[in-house]
Every structure is written in structure tokens, then in C-alpha cells.
Chain A
Amino acid sequence: MKNETEVKALKTVPREKAFYFFTSIGNYTGESASSLKEFMEKINEVNVKSLEFHLYRGDFEKWAIEVLEDKKLADEISKLRGLNYYGYALKEQLYNVVARHYKELVSSI
């Protein structure tokens, strides 16, 4: 049976609720994600500086909780934040965390 929370986490959100990737305060890269799947794909595409900027501000967790309503994903990203990864290592680890979570959600429905 489909878990309501898991289904919500896989939804596509309207553009005003999408995640917009910035590299610093007010500097928008032009990349955005309207779903968890798209977010996962964008991790590999955006400048790693954008990932560093958002991870250490807590923006990913905030979006996971407030928009995707996925606390488990937020917790997993929070743990990653504590490991202080930067650069390509951060990109790889973040992708792994999100991709693993995405696969779990998809396989559970």
C-alpha cells in the first residue's frame, strides 16, 4: 500500500515551490528542481559551489521538510552536513544520499 508521506515526497511541485540553485546570496544559477527526481539529477549538473552554499545554510533540509514533506531525507542530508564535505566529494556524497533515498521511495510504492 502506498504511504502518503512517500507519495508526497515524489510529487512535482509548482514553480514557486521549486528549489532554485544559487551560488551565493542573490546569485541564481538558472537551475531549479521541481521534484525529488529532478533535484537528484541537478546535483550532478550544478556548480559544486552551489551545493556547498545551500548545504551549509540548511536550504536542502528546509526544502525537504517544507515542500517535499520528507523529514527522513532532511535528516539524511543533515547527517551529511555534519561530515564537512566540500567540492567533488560533497557532490558525490549528496548525490548518493538523495539517489538512495529516491530509490527507497520508488520501490516502496
Chain B
Amino acid sequence: MDIEKIVAEVIPKSDYHHRNGFNNIPLIDRLSNDERDGLEDALIHKLLLESEDEIDTLIVETLAYLKSQKSLPVLYQLLGKCSENLIKLTIAASIFEINMDTSMIDIATGVIRKIDNKNDAYYVHKLTSAFYYLAKFQEPDTIKLLEEYSRHSEYLISYNAKQALG
């Protein structure tokens, strides 16, 4: 079992060429239990080495998909330190995915309201990205919020809110 090789495949280099649309779920699904355990440990270790400004959200999302209980202390710690809204939302959604911590819902909706700021040149892109993390909660508050955005006047915002709702 070559964990380094698995990690390199599951978490490829973080550039556009390797990450554009990259989906590691099929790769993870093919792993044995031992390989998944090894991957989990390696990713937690990797996360511990990253500063809050350089968190690779693909690692966080992968740990959530692995339902990694072991990663929770690290994720909570990162959530407390992280100041970047989209990363915060990713971590909150991932924690919720692992342990259904409902306190994450308020954090998520709070993040949405913060990034809905037309003064930010990237606000459309941030919002559209955020919707897909918000959709992971499948809770009344988050669904209601997405429904509101599905009626937004900005085409890309309403389109993505509808897509996130499914």
C-alpha cells in the first residue's frame, strides 16, 4: 500500500490544470478499508501542517466524505481560526457531514450573508460556490435560504441556487 501515491491521486496538485472539475469520489470509492484508513491519517497529518490561510479545502471535503471522526478536533480547531468565509463554510459543512453538529447551520447561513456583498468583485462567484456547500445541510433554514436565492435577479446566482437545491 503506497499511501503517498494514493494521497497524490486523491489530492492532486492545486492548480487549475489538475483541479478544474476534479472529482476524487470515484478514486476513494475504489480504495480498500486499509487504504481509506491510511489516507485518512495522511490527510489529517497534512491538514495539521497547513496554516489557516492555506487550507486545502479538497482535503477537508475528502475527510468529510470519509466520515472521519478522527479529523473532527482538527476541523473544529481550523474552524475557530479560519477567517476566510468560503473556507469556513467548507469546514462547517464538512463537520456537519461527519457528525451532524447543528451549530454548523448558523455558521453556514452567517457566512452566506457575509459573502452576499456586492462590494466584493467576486461576490457572484463566491455565492455560487457557497450554495453547493450550503446544500449539503439539507436543513429547513438552508433550504429556505437557497430558495430565496433561486429567485435572485442575477442569472448566475439564481441558476446555481436552483441547481444546488436539486
The reply to whether chain A is a binding partner of chain B is: no
B interface list, Cβ under 8 A from A: none
A interface list, Cβ under 8 A from B: none
